[in-house]
């Protein structure tokens, strides 16, 4: 390397909610609950709403409807399983609610901006993708920019006709747009299993976040006030879900990411690959 500050890592592709912004990933979760209630007067728990997080939002609604507890209540109430028209109806209710609320959840997770700047200082490109559709992402991008977060690339779940997670298409679109020459020098960072699977499917290093995202489900204040036993319980809950996707690394929050960067740099320079 001609410059000692350069890294063998070419790009990091971050998820949005629960990874860089919106500690606890509450923007989408609470809106799913509200959309089911408004459209069908159907009660959904936050836990049920969180279960398939990371998928595109239409697919997420479909997956929620297939959760056994939800399916049983739906069939008891409506006499048949949730169908495509039901999903469409809930999605159409979900969208304006999400657009109205997403900017309220655009604050960066603690230390995120410092970590991002550290990557840029190494000439590492900042990619991103999300389970949000483009019309929601455009609002979130503008709101996050006001806080100082401006990734080099943003791919929304409905940008590509091939679809979203857990397939690799959004991550690979970042590779193309960022001009990355080798996917093995990329890292995918996410708080949900479909996003980790996405990274594996794209041939990248993968990093799961235990405490800032969907699986632990802590608000920022709960996280800041928590004792070690509470934090460990959150870690254990998230780890049980994320380990099934075999991430290369599991860390608490983005604040711990510099240590991962240093280790992957070491491994790449030693000839290792994801």
How many domains are contained in the chain?
2
The angle formed by the CA atoms of residues 93, 94 and 100, to the nearest 5 degrees, is 105
Measured in whole angstroms, how far is the alpha carbon of residue 132 from the centre of its chain?
Answer: 9
Contact 36, 67 (CB under 8 A): no
Q: Is residue 4 part of a domain?
A: no
The CATH number assigned to the domain holding 225 equals 3.40.50.1000
The residue-averaged pLDDT of 58-67 equals 96
Average pLDDT, the chain: 95
Mark which of 60, 82, 102 sits at the end of a domain.
102
* Residue 21 belongs to a domain: yes
Same domain, 116 and 243: yes
pLDDT tens sequence across 219-237 = 999 999 999 999 999 999 9
What is the arithmetic mean of pLDDT over 106-126? 98
Assess whether 253 and 208 both reside in one domain: yes
What DSSP letter does each residue of the chain carry, written as one string? --STT--S--EEEE-SBTTTBSTT-HHHHHHHHHHHHHHH-----HHHHHTTBTB-HHHHHHHHHHSHHHHHHHHHHHSS---HHHHHHHHHHHHHHHHHHGGGG-PBPTTHHHHHHHHHHTT-EEEEB-SS-HHHHHHHHHHHHHHT---S--B-TTSSTT--TTSSHHHHHHHHHHT-S-GGGEEEEESSHHHHHHHHHTT-EEEEESSSSTTT---HHHHHH--HHHHHHHHHHHHHHHGGG--SEEESSGGGHHHHHHHHHHHHHTT---
What is the model's pLDDT at position 3? 44
Q: With respect to residue 43, please indicate whether it lies within any of the assigned structural domains.
A: yes
5 occurs within a structural domain: no
In a domain, 40, yes or no: yes
198 and 109 fall within a common domain? yes
Looking at the structure, tell me whether residues 118 and 205 fall in a common domain: yes
Domain presence at residue 252: yes
How much is the average pLDDT of 26-30? Answer: 88
Indicate if 50 and 140 belong to the same structural domain.
no
Write the CA distances from 75 to 89, 109, 233, integer angstroms.
17, 39, 34
Would residue 225 count as lying in a domain? yes
Sheet-wide strand order for 186-190: 125-128, 11-14, 186-190, 205-209, 249-251
The average pLDDT across 46-53 equals: 90
Q: Is the pLDDT of residue 78 over 70?
A: yes
State mean pLDDT over 176-201: 98
Q: Is 15 annotated to bind ligand?
A: yes
Residue 2, pLDDT score = 39
Q: pLDDT tens for residues 248-265? A: 999 999 999 999 999 999
225 is in an annotated binding site: no
- Quick one: 189 and 62 in the same domain? no
pLDDT band at 55 (very low <50, low <70, confident <90, very high): confident
Is 121 within any annotated ligand binding site?
no
Per-residue pLDDT reduced to its tens digit, 125-141: 999 999 999 999 999 99
Domain range for 67 is 28-102
pTM for the predicted model, two decimal places: 0.92
Total count of residues recorded for the chain: 274
State whether 151 and 218 are in the same domain. yes
Domain boundary among 72, 102, 132: 102
Q: For residue 28, name the pLDDT band (cuts at 50, 70, 90).
A: confident
Do 226 and 176 fall into the same domain?
A: yes
Same domain, 148 and 166: yes
Catalytic residue IDs: 15, 57
Q: Residues with Cβ < 8 Å from 10, sequence gap 6 or more?
A: 124, 125, 178, 180, 181, 182, 185, 186
For residues 52 and 133, state if they share a domain: no
User: For the domain that residue 50 is a member of, what is the CATH number?
Assistant: 1.10.150.240
Within-domain flag for 2:
no
pLDDT category at 5 given cuts 50, 70, 90 is low
- Domain co-membership, 78 together with 155: no
Q: Do 135 and 85 have their domain in common?
A: no
Q: Which of 59, 79, 102 is the endpoint of a domain?
A: 102
Please report which confidence band the pLDDT of residue 56 belongs to, taking 50, 70 and 90 as the band edges. confident
| Position 1 pLDDT exceeds 50 | no
């Amino acid at each position: 390397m001609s410059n000692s500050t350069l890294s063998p890592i070419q790009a990091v592709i971050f998820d949005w909610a629960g990874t860089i912004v919106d500690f606890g990933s509450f923007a989408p979760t609470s809106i799913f609950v509200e959309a089911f209630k408004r459209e069908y007067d159907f009660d959904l728990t936050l836990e049920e709403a969180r279960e398939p997080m990371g998928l595109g939002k239409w697919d997420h609604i479909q997956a929620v409807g297939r959760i056994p507890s939800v399916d049983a209540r739906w069939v008891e109430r409506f006499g048949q399983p949730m169908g495509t028209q039901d999903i469409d109806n809930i999605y159409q209710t979900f969208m304006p609610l999400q657009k109205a609320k997403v900017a309220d959840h655009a604050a960066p997770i603690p230390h995120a901006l410092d970590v991002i700047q550290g990557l840029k200082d190494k000439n590492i490109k900042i990619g991103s993708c999300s389970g949000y559709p483009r019309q929601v992402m455009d609002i979130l991008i503008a709101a996050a920019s006001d806080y100082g977060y401006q990734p080099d690339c943003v791919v929304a779940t409905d940008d590509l006709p091939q679809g979203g997670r857990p397939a690799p298409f959004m991550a690979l679109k970042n590779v193309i747009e960022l001009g990355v020459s080798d996917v093995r020098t990329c890292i995918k960072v996410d708080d949900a299993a479909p996003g980790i699977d996405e990274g594996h499917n794209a041939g990248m290093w993968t990093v799961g976040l235990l405490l800032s995202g969907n699986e632990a489900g802590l608000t920022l204040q709960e996280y800041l006030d928590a004792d070690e036993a509470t934090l460990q319980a959150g870690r254990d809950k998230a780890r049980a879900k994320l380990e099934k996707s075999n991430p290369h690394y599991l860390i608490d929050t983005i604040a711990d990411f510099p240590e991962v960067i240093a280790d992957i740099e070491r491994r790449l320079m030693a000839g290792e690959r994801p």
